[in-house]
Amino acid sequence: MILTEDKKYTMSLELEDNQGSGAPLDKTIELEFTNRELLHAVITCGMPLQRLTPAYFSKRRTELLYKIFLVETALDTEGDRLKKSRKIAYLDSSEKSVMSYYLGMFFTKLISRRLYGIDCLTHLNLIEKINGDGFIDFFDGEWRPDMIGYRASSNTWSVWEAKGGSNRREQALKKGSQQVAAIASINGQKPDPAAVCMTYYDHGYLCGVVRMPATEKGEAVGFDHKRFCRAYYRHICEAFLECGAGTRMEGQNAELSVAVPCFTEEKRAGEERRIHFGMSKSMLLHLMEEKYDFFTQGGIGIWRESCPGDAFVGEDGIYVR
């Protein structure tokens, strides 16, 4: 597939009950989304390995290219459906698992926004502790959930576990249910929702399932909005710092233009296309100065209105065109 092509896609998505016990499905929907929605999820879903790598010039551009490469290599298209690419058939299971994991993460970002109104989603172990003593790593065993989400309209938090694989694996869904159940509350609130989101292939076509288990006996997690915002927006801010020469000021917005090589079609090998993403200049200034008051005071809604009309704009204030 080519993520930069203007296209609409459809995938079958199963929504299960909140028992997490393999009960009958509540319903199956056909989720429609555009390439820009998926690209927004790819850009804004932070890399879980970013704590392992030191800062260096063009680090964020390299990460972005890697994520786009994974998606475009793993998936082909057939009409409006996404399919497992034949190009990856020669890979061993471990290599395929890496691709499946990242696909699961990106689609969890997309699905959480579309169906549950989650504005921001970031990895739990990228959020700093309230006392500033490192990151939230006390879920350091195999049961740690992946990500924490925030819905600004209701000031509520959510817990997400992303899964990806070649098949719909009940065992993985059960384990994911245990992982999200490890958190009973976030900042004093019950997670809304606490969900496992899995992508898999059915006869070669990409599908998904969302399961919401009960979360009553887990631990309490606490952090402030500032540290959550920093975890979510950090890699975007660093991309602007690293690519200063590629930043354009378009009216009220700051925009990055990133050159991306063509990964998949031989006849276009070596050619470049460009991805443009950005936000309000006022919002970028707030982020650079680590002023996150806008996060809880409705500022994002105002800044979203200034974004280009031909762009896809996320509830996080970041647009892609």
Report pLDDT for 241: 86
318 vs 35: CA distance, rounded Å: 15
Report pLDDT for 268: 60
- The phi, psi pair for 65, rounded to 5°, reads -60, -40
CB 253 within 8 A of CB 260: no
CB 35 within 8 A of CB 4: yes
Burial (CB count <10 Å: 0-12, 13-18, 19+), residue 196: buried
For residues 243 and 147, the model is more confident at 147
224 vs 70: CA distance, rounded Å: 33
- The neighbouring-strand residues paired with 210 are 15, 197
pTM of structure: 0.92
| Amino acid residing at 139 | F
Using the predicted structure, report yes or no on whether residue 20 has a pLDDT greater than 50. no
Contacts of 57 (CB under 8 A, 6+ apart): 242
Report residue 266 CA to chain centroid gap: 29
Compute the mean pLDDT over every residue in the chain, rounded to the nearest whole number. 87
CB 81 within 8 A of CB 9: yes
Using the predicted structure, report yes or no on whether residue 81 has a pLDDT greater than 60. yes
279 vs 294: CA distance, rounded Å: 14
Report pLDDT for 244: 66
300 vs 192: CA distance, rounded Å: 21
For residues 126 and 17, the model is more confident at 126
- Per-residue pLDDT reduced to its tens digit, 281-293: 999 999 999 998 8
For residues 160 and 25, the model is more confident at 160
